[in-house]
Amino acid sequence: MAKIDIGSKILQYRRQKGYTIKELAKKTKLTSSMLSQIERGNANPSINSLRIIAKALDVPLVNFFEDEDNVENLVVRADQRKKLMMPSNHGFVYESLSPNLSGKIQMVLLRLNPGEETTESLMSHEGEEAALVLEGKAKIYLEDGVFELESGDSIRIPPGKPHKWENIDNIIVTVVFAISPPSF
């Protein structure tokens, strides 16, 4: 098993958030000196310290332990996709096409049965989204507008814009999304 450099991962996430060491120290109540030593690999943080740092950086704790440099961790096999269940009465799921949420973008696949909607009412999230209809015909309700998209059509959904999808075809609609930053 390859050695995982937790300190460099903390540094990476801190820089992605645009925080200085002093800002992260203030958020975590750890000293700047300790954080600097952790990032440089000169100190080993406790699990409790890692939890505090993960919370301050708004990343799952597990991200510090993933070996992203291992090429095998970059591939998601079709039969091993993570299913993202949405809280609703609907039977559909999103499938993550990305191996984890540690990158700056997430790919997601959605399949909607005929007549099915993703939600009852419009919902929003912080990430910007681009979607491509791979198969079928769907309506996307975007704030006050409604758009019909067919196979090959795409749409950009700005961050925070309330939206939902509806299958208006007699076949399963398949849509692939890119979301940045990852929000599932």
Tell me, yes or no, whether 109 lies in a domain.
yes
Last residue of a domain, one of 52, 71, 90: 71
pLDDT at 146: 96
pLDDT at 56: 94
pLDDT greater at residue 47 or residue 183: 47
The tens digit of pLDDT for each residue in 125-159 reads 888 999 999 999 999 999 889 999 999 999 999 99
The tens digit of pLDDT for each residue in 5-43 reads 888 889 989 988 899 999 999 999 999 999 999 999 888
> Are residues 79 and 96 both part of a single domain?
yes
Residue 1 binned pLDDT confidence (cut-offs 50, 70, 90) = very low
The residue whose two tokens read 């993550």 is 96
* Total residues belonging to the chain: 184
The tens digit of pLDDT for each residue in 53-110 reads 999 999 888 778 766 555 557 777 888 877 765 555 555 778 888 877 667 788 999 9
Domain that holds residue 34: 6-71
Tell me, yes or no, whether 1 lies in a domain.
no
pLDDT greater at residue 98 or residue 50: 50
> Are residues 44 and 92 both part of a single domain?
no
- SS3 of the chain: the string is CCCCCHHHHHHHHHHHHCCCHHHHHHHHCCCHHHHHHHHCCCCCCCHHHHHHHHHHHCCCHHHHHCCCCCHHHHCCCHHHCEEEECCCCCCCEEEECCCCCCCCCEEEEEEECCCCECCCCCECCCCEEEEEEEECEEEEEECCEEEEEECCCEEEECCCCCEEEEECCCCCEEEEEEEECCCC
Q: In CATH, what number is assigned to the domain containing residue 25?
A: 1.10.260.40
pLDDT at 68: 58
The model's pTM is: 0.61
pLDDT at 8: 86
Last residue of a domain, one of 22, 51, 71: 71
Q: In CATH, what number is assigned to the domain containing residue 122?
A: 2.60.120.10
For the cut 60, the answer to whether the pLDDT of residue 122 exceeds it is yes
